[in-house]
């Protein structure tokens, strides 16, 4: 089996991870940090707003079962891509909407998907989602992995 990676930031990573884990064809999903300037940041570092990292989920998936386009649909459907540095009650640059692409094909798919969504009229405000090359992914602390699952909680609306 050949797998691929996809990395998404869509607010607090706990709900995002849970959402992607439920998608058939997703092999694994890990929460972590990407897009900042500090190596090996901790949760506290990221929350200090001094590192520039976003809370993200890195998804490992089997493209024979689930397409990257399907993962993009899940991403767009499970957060508000029109709020800059905010998702619901969570405010800060670490909660920004971002797609970190791992290949030119992912970049093209993400840009096309965003353009379709903008033209659809689904949102009254402009989409502020960043689409950027995948930087180093720093896996989050163990207590953040499968956070909702460990607490017997279902995925919250994100």
Decide yes or no: CATH 3.30.1060.10 for domain 4-150: yes
Residue extents of the structural domains in the chain: 4-150
Considering the candidates 6, 10, 12, 72, report the single residue annotated as catalytic: 12
* Nearest residue to 45 via CA among 60, 63, 33: 33
Backbone angles phi, psi at 10, to 5 degrees: -145, 45
Q: pTM of the full predicted structure?
A: 0.93
Annotated active-site residue 12? The verdict is: yes
For 52-109, the pLDDT digits (tens) are 999 999 999 999 999 999 999 999 999 999 999 999 888 999 999 999 999 999 999 9
């Amino acid at each position: 089996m050949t797998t691929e990676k996809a990395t998404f930031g869509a607010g607090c990573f706990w709900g995002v991870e849970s959402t992607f884990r439920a998608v058939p064809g997703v092999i694994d999903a890990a929460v972590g940090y990407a897009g900042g300037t500090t190596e090996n940041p901790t949760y506290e570092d990221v929350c200090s707003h001094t590192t520039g990292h976003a809370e993200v989920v890195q998804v490992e998936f089997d493209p024979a079962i689930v397409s990257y386009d399907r993962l993009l649909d899940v991403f767009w459907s499970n957060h508000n891509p029109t709020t800059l540095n905010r998702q619901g009650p969570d405010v800060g640059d670490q909660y920004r909407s971002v797609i970190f692409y791992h290949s030119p094909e992912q970049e093209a798919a993400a840009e096309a998907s965003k353009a379709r969504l903008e033209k659809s009229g689904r949102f009254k405000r402009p989409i502020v989602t960043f689409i950027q090359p995948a930087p180093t992914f720093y896996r989050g602390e163990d207590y953040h992995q499968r956070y909702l699952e460990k607490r017997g909680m279902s995925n919250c609306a994100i």
